[in-house]
Each structure stands twice: as C-alpha cells, then as structure tokens.
C-alpha cells in the first residue's frame, strides 16, 4: 500500500482529517490551475472555487474506489466541480451585475486590472478566448505534465482525441499569440 492509499484509508476508515489535509496540500497548486482553466479569471474567485471544490472532494472521497490514480480522480472532480460552480457564479453575477457586464468581461476586478500589466492582461484574455477543453488540455499537458491517458480520463475523451485536440489547441493558441504580437508591433 503506498502512502497515498494509506492516507485515503486513514481518512475514510478513521475519519482522520489530517490525512485529508496531507492528501490535498501537495496538490493545491495543480487544483488551482485546473480551476483557472475551467473559468475563474480572478485570483480571489479561484480561491473561492478551490474552497468549494475541496468540500466536494471531502464528501466524494469516501466513494473513491481506487480504480484510477488519486490524482486523475481528484483532477476530474476538480474540473467538473469548477465548471459547475463557474456556471452558477456566472448566472448569479449576470443577475446581480447586468449593467456592468462589459467591464467584467475583461475577467478581473478593477483592483486587479490596475495591478496587472496590460500585456499580461491581454495574454490572459487570449488564453480565455480558447475553449474550456483546450485550456484544460494545455494546462494538464504543459503544467501538470500528465500523460495522454490521464488527460483522457480527466476530460472524459478518448486518448486519440486528446492528441489531436491538443495539437489543435496549441495551433489556435499560437495563432492568437502571433496575431497579438503583430498588433503589438
């Protein structure tokens, strides 16, 4: 039994909360990147979503069957929960702030906008112009360095689709980047 499995069993069988904390702490940054790819552009929004996602993971962990690796399982839950929460947040925001929608489309609150450099903001905007699945693919491959099979499990698509979609995502991102660079000159 590896350390991860021991921690999961400690949490599930002995309700050891410190085991849950240990399991999660090492993955916080990865989880936050997946959350970022799912939609929230603002760092405080990402932290809020992270908190909600962790509640869902805590609840779901008792049902973990060791059929896939824990990382794959937790990333998949994170992505699904983030998408779900992002949809809810978007609907709530649309209801509350219909009038200031335009300013929100840039993706960050005014304070953060002021702090970020224009170039960073625009590059971030380019990233968010990609499909959610394309964003996840880029993050999971480039930042999380996951295998094609793991990415396929997390996104619920075939490994062959991961490869083709990943190269398309790269191409799209590159085109956007190059157009942006040309406009800069």
Partner 1 sequence: MNNYDEPWLKQMLDAALDYGEKPASPDFNAIRRAAQDAPPKSRGFTRSGKILAAAIITAGIAAAVPAAFFGYRAAERRHAVQEENRLFAEQIIGGTIFDEGLCPDTPWPFEDAGTKDFFDI
**Is the CB of 17 or the CB of 131 nearer to partner 1?**
17
* Cβ atoms of 152 and 164 closer than 8 Å: no
Q: What are the distances in angstroms from CA 94 to CA 48, 84, 87, 110?
A: 18, 15, 10, 17
Question: Which of 135-139's residues contact partners 24+ apart within 8 Å by CB, and which partners?
Answer: 135/37, 135/38, 135/169, 136/34, 136/37, 136/38, 136/79, 137/162, 137/165, 137/166, 137/169, 138/37, 138/166, 138/169, 138/170, 138/173, 139/33, 139/34, 139/36, 139/37
Using CB under 8 A as the binding rule, whether residue 179 contacts partner 1 is answered as: no
**Is the CB of 85 or the CB of 99 nearer to partner 1?**
85
Q: Pick out residues in 11-50 that bind partner 1 (CB under 8 A).
A: 17, 20-21, 24, 28-29, 31-33, 36-37, 43, 46-47, 50
CB of 13 to partner 1, least distance (A): 16
Using CB under 8 A as the binding rule, whether residue 173 contacts partner 1 is answered as: yes
Q: Pick out residues in 137-166 that bind partner 1 (CB under 8 A).
A: 138-139, 141-145
Using CB under 8 A as the binding rule, whether residue 131 contacts partner 1 is answered as: no
Contact code string over 49-68 relative to partner 1, x by CB under 8 A: -xx--xx--xxx-xx-----
Give the N- to C-terminal CA distance of the chain in Å, as an integer.
57
Residues that bind partner 1 (CB under 8 A): 17, 20-21, 24, 28-29, 31-33, 36-37, 43, 46-47, 50-51, 54-55, 58-60, 62-63, 119-121, 123-124, 126-128, 135, 138-139, 141-145, 170, 173-174, 177-178, 181
């Amino acid at each position: 039994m590896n350390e991860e499995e021991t921690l999961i069993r400690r949490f599930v069988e002995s309700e050891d909360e410190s085991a849950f904390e240990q399991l999660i702490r090492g993955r916080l940054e990865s989880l936050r990147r997946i959350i970022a790819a799912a939609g929230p552009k603002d760092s405080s929004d990402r932290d809020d979503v992270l908190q909600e996602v962790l509640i869902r993971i805590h609840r779901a962990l008792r049902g973990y069957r060791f059929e896939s690796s824990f990382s794959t399982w937790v990333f998949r839950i994170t992505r699904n929960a983030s998408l779900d929460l992002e949809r809810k947040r978007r609907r709530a925001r649309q209801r509350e702030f219909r009038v200031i929608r335009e300013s929100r489309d840039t993706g960050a609150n005014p304070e953060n906008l002021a702090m970020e450099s224009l170039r960073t903001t625009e590059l971030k905007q380019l990233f968010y112009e990609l499909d959610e699945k394309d964003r996840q693919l880029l993050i999971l491959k480039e930042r999380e360095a996951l295998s094609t099979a793991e990415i396929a499990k997390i996104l619920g698509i075939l490994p062959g689709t991961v490869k083709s979609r990943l190269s398309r995502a790269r191409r799209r991102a590159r085109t956007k980047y190059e157009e942006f660079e040309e406009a800069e000159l």
